[in-house]
Amino acid sequence: MVAKGGKTDTKKSNAKSAAKLIKMEELSWKQIDDLDRDKTIFFLPISPLEEHGPHLPVGTDLLTSRDSAIEAIKILNKKNPDINCVLLPLVPVGFCKFNTDFPGSISVSSKTVRDIVYGTGSALGNHGFKYLVICTYHMAAGHLKGIYSAMKKLRSKYNMNVCEPWGPYFHNKEVEKREPKLGFDTSKECHAGFRETSLMKYQYPYLVDEGYKNLQSIYRDLTSPRTVGKKFKELGLKQGYVGSPARADADYGRWFFNETVNCYVEAAQKLYNGKKMPDLPRNIKNAMRALFWQ
Ligand SMILES: [Zn+2]
């Protein structure tokens, strides 16, 4: 419920019971101030504009971060009507220096990512808000470094309950563990390959260039130390994708999208109930630590 008192209360309450999506930019400071600090969770979608092969839009991560946050909020509104879920505007920012040799990739430093996430969280923390879910679909260590550093600071300075659910899910290989059997090795589908092409075929079929069907499978181990500091074209990734986009399947895309949504729903509920959150695996934490702030 947006307003705690006053004549508009019943109207707002009805709006909430109809599972209205609360968008931060549509609220006045007064309405924000009226939100119950103990019962409000903010969702911050943040991902860079980044090339996703010759067949997918540069907003692939961006659109997915926002859409899955919206779907998660709709489910939470139904399951937990006592909680206010507030969607912050989509932030088109992230670290993706490694593929800025293609037009459309806009990379900022890990520090900038950290400052934006910390700046947003601290603005909420300064007014006593306690819950923040960061929704990102971009899994690069340099991007996560900024987000996780900001989360650490928000926890220590504001005692804020903050999480980034998709990183632990993705990097702990939960996708591989849970996905339907497909008959090929999906663990090599790193970027704009089978998974993301399937996802976009499900969510935005009109944004997927039909040429995806003719793209050859290309694989590279982007976690290898030999790739550090190198850009995609230097690694022979001339088209900007890693994986097998031609295998894309909208049904898998639906499954994958819903996994993200459920991951956000579960994380928000755990965060709210003070339960232990899944964490990034050690190898990713080490990779984040080894990276310079750039
Ligand atoms: Zn992506």
The rounded Å distance from CA 138 to ligand 1 centre is: 6
Over residues 188-193, mean pLDDT: 93
Quick one: pLDDT at residue 104? 97
- Nearest Cα neighbor of 70 from 27, 1, 24, 113 is 24
Q: 202-259 pLDDT, tens per residue?
A: 999 999 999 999 999 999 888 787 888 899 999 999 999 999 999 999 999 999 999 9
Residue count of the chain, please give it.
Answer: 294
Give residue 280 CA to ligand 1 midpoint distance, Å: 18
Q: Which 3 state secondary structure label does DSSP give 85?
A: strand
Residue 89 has pLDDT above 90, yes or no: yes
Q: How far, in Å, is the centroid of ligand 1 from the Cα of 29?
A: 34
Domain boundaries 36-290, CATH class: alpha beta
Q: Calculate the CA dihedral of residues 243, 249, 254, 258 and round it to 10 degrees.
A: -20
Cα four-point dihedral sign 196, 198, 201, 207:
positive
Specify burial of residue 13 (Cβ count, 10 A radius: 0-12, 13-18, 19+).
middle
**CA–centroid distance, residue 60 to ligand 1 (Å):** 6
CA 293–ligand 1 middle distance (angstroms):
22
Compute the distance from residue 91 Cα to the ligand 1 centre, in Å.
Answer: 15
Contact 162, 154 (CB under 8 A): yes
Give yes or no for a contact between 34 and 3, defined as CB atoms under 8 angstroms apart.
Answer: yes
Task: Give the N- to C-terminal CA distance of the chain in Å, as an integer.
Answer: 41
- Ligand 1 center to residue 191 CA distance, Å? 6
State in Å: Cα 53 to ligand 1 middle.
10
Task: State the distance from the centre of ligand 1 to the C-alpha of 36, rounded, in angstroms.
Answer: 35
Ligand 1 centroid to residue 283 C-alpha, Å: 20
Torsion angles phi and psi, residue 45, rounded to 5: -80, 125
Determine the distance separating the centroid of ligand 1 and the alpha carbon of 282, expressed in angstroms. Answer: 22
| Confidence bin at 44 (pLDDT 50/70/90) | very high
Is the per-residue pLDDT at 5 higher than 50?
no
C-alpha 197 – ligand 1 centre gap (Å): 9
Gap from CA of 61 to ligand 1 centroid (Å): 5
Q: Are 274 and 82 in contact (CB under 8 A)?
A: no
Question: How far away, in angstroms, is 256 Cα from ligand 1 center?
Answer: 13
Number of CB atoms found within 10 A of residue 120's CB: 21
Which of 211 and 187 is assigned the larger pLDDT?
A: 211
Q: Write out pLDDT tens, residues 118-169.
A: 999 999 999 999 999 999 999 999 999 999 999 999 999 999 999 999 999 9
* Domain chopping of the chain, boundaries: 36-290
CA of 52 to the centre of ligand 1 (A): 7
- Cα of 276 to ligand 1 centre, how many Å? 27
Q: CA 99, CA 69: separation in Å to the nearest integer?
A: 26
CA of 77 to the centre of ligand 1 (A): 28
74 Cα–ligand 1 center, Å: 24
Least confident span in 77-81, 159-163, 179-183: 179-183
Segment among 10-14, 65-69, 208-212 with least mean pLDDT: 10-14
Question: Ligand 1: distance of its center to the CA of 23 in Å?
Answer: 25
